[in-house]
Each structure stands twice: as structure tokens, then as C-alpha cells.
């Protein structure tokens, strides 16, 4: 109830205040802002993930424009010499209206990334898009070496999806999943989502995948680190991924422990609509954002 009220109230928050609220999480509106943030993170010993805000694109022209913007971003990353890669939502490339279009545009970006020696990741959105996203990833994997996927521990199906992925090198960002999904297909209790995260990580490690643990949940991460130690994996063997502006003291601690930490840095003019959409879909996030915003430093 409180969450819903918070989200409703958000619509009335003036844009400058929303911008201030979001500024901790978003590099800015322009490519130059993104490059500044990635360069600053590099100076502090963190690698980066390049993301342009946007999703749910239905027009062919806009999807194609998104692909051009990502290519421009990949070229800027290569020119700046920062260790970063592009990470793209399938519906930002038109998946919601045309799967083949999305695949073609991913191919276009992956081709340029390969020329520049960069990695590209296909992100995962809500459950109606899961099958198509996995099909796109499998198709890309046959042609490009440096592509990865995101898998969500929240979904019951994920353990089976791991089994179903074709053999061969595999790079996975493992997340809990940001979208609230129906209880028929997804875990709803925090403890179950955590347990599933561990089960997915173990299954991925068993099949030799490169697993990137994307989380700010310190107790869950400690359980994952214990599991890594039992397998003889060292701190530097597994990358942690975090969101810009979220739980920075945790990144510092992990870095001091010798764990590689990669920071997700979104930017773009669509920041307000994006923030509102995200918060409306997952109101619990609103509390986390407010709590984080009020935390000094
Ligand atoms: C690098 C990266 C990429 C991601 N990519 C995807 C993706 O492709 N698809 C997808 O479905 N999900 C993605 N996610 C989101 C992910 O699924 C979770 O929703 C998110 O990471 C929060 O879960 P958590 O594991 O941090 O644990 P939680 O228990 O949710 O959070 C742990 C603590 O971190 C803080 N926190 C977490 N998130 C935020 C936030 N946004 N703002 C402020 N404080 C916060 C809270 O204080 C909370 O107490 C990504 C996350 C990261 C870090």
C-alpha cells in the first residue's frame, strides 16, 4: 500500500527534483556524460558497463537509431581506452514488435564490437520476452565469440534454461531479476530468490561458464564466495557487477578483497520515463532508492 502511494506520488515530483533523485544512478543525458563517468570510475579502479536508457521500442526507425547510438558508444569506448562493454535490452532494439529486427540490430552492433575488440551483452527483460531473448542469444553465439546473456534467478525456468543452452563457452550475468513476475512462474519470497541464485551460480560454474554476479546483497554474496572457495576459485576469478550509485561502500570492500567490480552506468535523455516505468513496475525499489538517497556518502 505504502509502496503504491509512493509510486503515485512520484508522478507529481517536479522534474528538477526527479533529476536530483536520479543523478546518483544515471551518468547524464549525453554520450559525453557517460564517457566522463566511465573514465572517472576507471581512475578509481572500476571497470564499466555502457547502457543507454530505453526499452519497449516498437518503431523500426527508433530501434535502428538505438543500434546506431550503441555503435557510436562502442567507438567512444574504444577511443577512450576504458575497460567497458555495451549491454542492451532486447526491446530497446524492437523485440516487442519484431524478433528478426532485434536480431539483425544485435548482429550489427556485435559486428562493430568485434572489429573494436569489445564484448556485448544481451540483457533480460520480463518473462514474455524470455524465449525470444534466449533464441537471439543462441543465434548470436554461433557467429560471435564475445557475447553474453543475463539470467534471472527469480524465474523457476532458469535452471532448465541453463541446461538447454548450447554447449561451448558461456558468459552469464546472473541477477535476481528486476521484474515482478506472477507467482505461477517465479519465486516471490526473498529467501527463495536468494537460494535460487546460489543454485543457478553453482549450475553455471559446474558447466564451466564465466559467471558475473550482479548483486548488492552482501549476505548472499558471502554465501557465493564460500561456494567459490570450496571449488578452489580465487577472489579474482569471479567478477561482481553493481549499479552506479548503489551501495558504494560494498564495491570498495570487494575491491579491497581483490574482487573485480564492474559498474553499470546508464545514461540518456529518457531517464525520467525510464525511472518512472521501473519504479511503477517494482515499487519495492522505491523504498531502496529513498533509503539509499538518504544514506550519507
Ligand atoms: C549490473 C547489473 C545489471 C542488471 N541487469 C539486469 C537485467 O538485465 N535484467 C534484470 O531483470 N535485472 C537486472 N539487474 C537488476 C537485478 O535483477 C536486481 O533487481 C537488482 O540488482 C537488485 O537486487 P540485489 O541482488 O542487489 O538484491 P536486493 O536484495 O534487491 O538489494 C540489496 C540491497 O541493495 C540496495 N539496492 C538494490 N537495488 C537498488 C537500487 N536500484 N537503488 C537503490 N538501492 C538498491 C537495497 O538497499 C538493498 O537492500 C541488474 C543488476 C545489476 C547490478
Unique residue bearing C-alpha cell 527483460: 125
| CA distances, 275 to each of 11, 18, 55, 221, 270 (Å) | 11, 9, 11, 26, 9
Cα–Cα distance measured from residue 50 to residue 266, given in angstroms and rounded to the nearest whole number: 6
Q: List, in order, residues 6 or more apart from 85 with CB less than 8 Å away.
A: 49, 50, 77, 113, 118, 119, 120, 121
Cα–Cα distance measured from residue 176 to residue 220, given in angstroms and rounded to the nearest whole number: 11
Cα–Cα distance measured from residue 201 to residue 25, given in angstroms and rounded to the nearest whole number: 27
Is 32 domain-assigned?
no
> What is the whole-number distance in angstroms between the Cα of residue 248 and the centre of ligand 1?
13
Is 36 domain-assigned?
no
Is 236 domain-assigned?
yes
Beta bridge partners of 213: 174, 240
Domain count for the chain, please give it: 2
In this structure, are 82 and 12 located in the same domain?
no
Counting from 1 in the atom list of ligand 1, the atom nearest the Cα of 212 is 1
Contact (Cβ atoms closer than 8 angstroms) between residue 289 and residue 9: no
Is 223 domain-assigned?
yes
Q: Ligand 1 pocket, 291 CB below 6 A?
A: yes
Counting from 1 in the atom list of ligand 1, the atom nearest the Cα of 282 is 19
pLDDT at 7: 63
Q: What is the pTM of this model?
A: 0.93
In this structure, are 10 and 80 located in the same domain?
no
CATH number where 212 lies: 3.20.20.220
Counting from 1 in the atom list of ligand 1, the atom nearest the Cα of 154 is 17
Phi first, then psi: what are they for 268, rounded to 5°?
140, 160
Is 33 domain-assigned?
no
Please say whether the dihedral angle defined by the alpha carbons of residues 23, 24, 29 and 33, taken in this order, is positive or negative.
positive
**Structural domain harbouring 153:** 43-267
Is 164 domain-assigned?
yes
pLDDT digits (tens, 9 = 90+) for 228-243: 999 999 999 999 999 9
Q: Which of 22-26, 122-126, 195-199 has the lowest mean pLDDT?
A: 22-26
In this structure, are 15 and 127 located in the same domain?
no
pLDDT digits (tens, 9 = 90+) for 169-186: 999 999 999 999 999 999
From 104, 142, 147, select the one nearest 123 (Cα to Cα).
147
In this structure, are 293 and 237 located in the same domain?
no
pLDDT at 19: 75
Work out the mean pLDDT of the chain and round it to a whole number.
Answer: 92
In this structure, are 279 and 154 located in the same domain?
no
Helical ranges in 88-189 per DSSP H: 99-116, 130-143, 158-164
In this structure, are 19 and 124 located in the same domain?
no
Q: List, in order, residues 6 or more apart from 179 with CB less than 8 Å away.
A: 125, 126, 127, 152, 154, 281, 282
Is 1 domain-assigned?
yes
H or E segment to which residue 214 belongs? strand 210-214
In this structure, are 140 and 279 located in the same domain?
no
Confidence at 1, pLDDT banded by 50, 70, 90: low
Residue 29 exposed, middle or buried by CB count within 10 Å (0-12, 13-18, 19+): middle
pLDDT at 22: 77
Is 38 domain-assigned?
no
In this structure, are 254 and 283 located in the same domain?
no
Unique residue bearing C-alpha cell 549476505: 219
Q: Ligand 1 pocket, 52 CB below 6 A?
A: no
For residue 297, is pLDDT > 60?
no
Amino acid at each position: 500500500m505504502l509502496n503504491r502511494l509512493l509510486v503515485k506520488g512520484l508522478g507529481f515530483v517536479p522534474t528538477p527534483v526527479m533529476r536530483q533523485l536520479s543523478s546518483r544512478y544515471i551518468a547524464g543525458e549525453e554520450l559525453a556524460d557517460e564517457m566522463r563517468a566511465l573514465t572517472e570510475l576507471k581512475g578509481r579502479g572500476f571497470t564499466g558497463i555502457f547502457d543507454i536508457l530505453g526499452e519497449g521500442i516498437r518503431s523500426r526507425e527508433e530501434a535502428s537509431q538505438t543500434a546506431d547510438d550503441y555503435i557510436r558508444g562502442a567507438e567512444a569506448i574504444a577511443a577512450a581506452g576504458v575497460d567497458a562493454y555495451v549491454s542492451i535490452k532486447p526491446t530497446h532494439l524492437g523485440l516487442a514488435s519484431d524478433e528478426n529486427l532485434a536480431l539483425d540490430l544485435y548482429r550489427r552492433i556485435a559486428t562493430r564490437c568485434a572489429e573494436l575488440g569489445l564484448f556485448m551483452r544481451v540483457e533480460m527483460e520480463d518473462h514474455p520476452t524470455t524465449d525470444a531473448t534466449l533464441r537471439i542469444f543462441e543465434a548470436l553465439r554461433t557467429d560471435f565469440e564475445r557475447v553474453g546473456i543475463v539470467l534471472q534467478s527469480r524465474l523457476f525456468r532458469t535452471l532448465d534454461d541453463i541446461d538447454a543452452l548450447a554447449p561451448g563457452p558461456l558468459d552469464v550475468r546472473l541477477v535476481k531479476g528486476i521484474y515482478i513476475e506472477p507467482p505461477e512462474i517465479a519465486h516471490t519470497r526473498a529467501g527463495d530468490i536468494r537460494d535460487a541464485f546460489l543454485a543457478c551460480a553453482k549450475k553455471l560454474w559446474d558447466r564451466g561458464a564465466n559467471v558475473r554476479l550482479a548483486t548488492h546483497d552482501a549476505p548472499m554474496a558471502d554465501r557465493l564466495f564460500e561456494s567459490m572457495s570450496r571449488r578452489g576459485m580465487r577472489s579474482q576469478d569471479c567478477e561482481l557487477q553493481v549499479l552506479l550509485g548503489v551501495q558504494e561502500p560494498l564495491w570498495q570492500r570487494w575491491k579491497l578483497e581483490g574482487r573485480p567490480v564492474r559498474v553499470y552506468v546508464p545514461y540518456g535523455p529518457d531517464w525520467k520515463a525510464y525511472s518512472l516505468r521501473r519504479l511503477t513496475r517494482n515499487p519495492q525499489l522505491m523504498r531502496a532508492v529513498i533509503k539509499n538517497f538518504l544514506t550519507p556518502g
